[in-house]
């Protein structure tokens, strides 16, 4: 539940995390439930967990059929450390690791939605770093996670064009679309 973003579409950052599973509890859960093929580690910001690699490893070691690991990032952590953690996860030899880089608009819109000035540029930098990492790790894929909400509706085309200026070979297939909803949770 930890997160450094201050999103207008989410209130996780306003909550005080409590009762999160400890690593030993996650390891026991993975041991007791060994049939997973797809594991999604989510947050908040999953890379704020110092033991995120060990969490992934628990599922890799216990789910022999594990085929897919997905993890989102807001790109606000220390990118050197985050890329090192991703590299460690890739070396676990999970067949497919997908990192979703959150991007909810063009530069101005994304920074507004996420509540962090400069977040668009950090997301672009992270995506470029992941593309470089993919050269050595064919089991890595990355997409931009675009959450459509009442705040940024109608902005996808402009976002795509702005990203294309920074990453010329980007396509619409490099975007994963989520729909935001109002909830009491």
pLDDT at 23 (0 to 100): 96
- Edge-first strand listing for the sheet containing 38-40: 38-40, 68-73, 96-102, 140-148, 175-179
Higher pLDDT, 167 or 178: 167
d(CA 184, CA 86): 33
Asked if 112 contacts 8 with a C-beta cutoff of 8 angstroms, the reply is yes
- Using CB atoms within 10 Å of the CB of residue 137, give its burial: 0 to 12 exposed, 13 to 18 middle, 19+ buried: middle
Higher pLDDT, 131 or 10: 131
- Measured in whole angstroms, the distance separating CA 148 from the mean position of its chain's CA atoms is 16
Q: Is the pLDDT of residue 185 over 70?
A: no
pTM equals 0.92
Residue with tokens 């991703």: 86
Structure tokens of 25? 């509890």
E strands in the chain: 38-40, 68-73, 96-102, 140-148, 175-179
Range 50-63 burial, b when 16+ CB lie within 10 A, else e = eebbebbbbbbebb
Q: Is the pLDDT of residue 9 over 90?
A: no
Asked if 18 contacts 45 with a C-beta cutoff of 8 angstroms, the reply is no
Higher pLDDT, 172 or 43: 172
Structure tokens of 105? 């608009």
Three-state DSSP string of 147-167: EECCCCCCCHHHHHHHHHHHC
- Measured in whole angstroms, the distance separating CA 62 from the mean position of its chain's CA atoms is 23
In this predicted model, what pLDDT tens digit does every residue of 64-84 receive, in sequence order?
A: 899 999 999 999 999 999 999
Q: Is the pLDDT of residue 92 over 80?
A: yes
The pLDDT mean for the chain works out to 93
d(CA 142, CA 92): 17
């Amino acid at each position: 539940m930890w997160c450094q973003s201050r999103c207008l579409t989410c209130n996780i950052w306003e909550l005080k995390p409590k009762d999160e599973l400890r690593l030993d509890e996650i390891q026991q859960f993975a041991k007791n439930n060994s049939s997973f093929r797809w594991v999604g580690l989510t947050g908040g910001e999953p890379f704020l967990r110092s033991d995120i690699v060990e969490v992934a490893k628990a599922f890799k070691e216990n789910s022999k059929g594990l085929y897919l690991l997905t993890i989102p990032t807001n790109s606000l952590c220390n990118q050197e450390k985050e890329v090192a953690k991703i590299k460690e996860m890739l070396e676990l030899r999970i067949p497919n690791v997908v990192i979703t880089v959150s991007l909810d608009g063009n530069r101005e819109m994304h920074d507004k939605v996420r509540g962090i000035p400069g977040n668009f540029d950090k997301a672009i930098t992270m995506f470029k770093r992941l593309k470089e990492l993919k050269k050595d790790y064919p089991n890595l894929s990355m997409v931009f996670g675009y959450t459509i909400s009442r705040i940024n509706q109608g902005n996808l085309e402009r976002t795509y064009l702005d990203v294309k200026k920074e990453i010329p070979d980007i396509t619409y297939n490099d975007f994963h679309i989520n729909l935001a909803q109002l909830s009491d949770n």
